[in-house]
Amino acid sequence: MMSRLFDLSGKVAIVTGSTKGIGKAIAAALADQGAKVVVSSRDKDRVAETAKELAEGGREVLGIPCNVGRKEEMQNLVDATRQAWGQIDIVIGNAAINPHYGPSMEIPDEIFAKVMATNIQSNLWLAQMVGDEMKARRDGAIIYISSIGGLRGSDVIGTYGISKAADIQLARNLATELGPDNIRVNCIAPGLVKTDFARALWEDPAYAEPRIASTPLRRLGEPNDIAGAAVYLASAAGRWITGQTIVIDGGATVIV
């Protein structure tokens, strides 16, 4: 039945960086479709608050703090999820950082390395930690939240863009490796979404106003604009999609 294409009942999902913005919207959407969802971020108080808020809406949610840049914390996130719910069916790699707003030519070495470790290495860790389990079950969905910053050049968020382009390629590589075991790996590449993370961009009229004017839908994105695609890729509706990147940007990238 068409109504069951998006049903996630019985599935367990981890969403990194899910206490606000796009990650929180995705966590809520997965839970609304019946999944048991783990919300996570570095801020343990925010994790507890978010889990409580989503649970009060009738969702089945667990909060586990995790700094994705620390492998031992990522492993704890995976292990604690299994301990609580027995398995992991869906992982959403959403957590990311962008501590440098400015030219790539001026970024300090340590900041560049930190961006790459957090935005790319952590997503590979996540796949490695759940891969064997998904292979044994011959089922699983891995989704990375990339960005249109990984598809176009920038003189202010270039290093972030490099990391997001790498996430797109990581999804292609893992889709190739894991596809024979029926594990799907895809990316979502949002345009400029009004989140705290992107506040430096959308609160800057010199940047945001031309972007809105050149976007066919004439507005910036909202977190909920991204959540539906995550449900689609995680559910039976997306069961023959892998290695792909879905761009959700109001049409911004169709304009040359």
* Catalytic residue (choose from 144, 160, 207, 232): 160
The answer to whether the beta carbons of residues 192 and 221 sit under 8 Å apart is yes
Q: CA angle at residue 142 from 223 to 136, to 5 degrees?
A: 150
Tell me the C-alpha distance between 253 and 244, whole Å.
16
Give the CB-side neighbour count of residue 35, counting CA atoms within 13 A.
31
**Tokens of residue 30, six digits:** 């997965």
Question: Can 101 be counted among the known catalytic residues?
Answer: no
* b/e code 172-203 from CB counts within 10 Å (16+ = b): bebbeebeeeebbbbbbbbbbbbbebbeebbe
Please, which residues bridge with residue 189 across strands?
247
Tell me the C-alpha distance between 108 and 102, whole Å.
11
H or E, element range at 209: helix 205-213
Residues involved in catalysis: 160
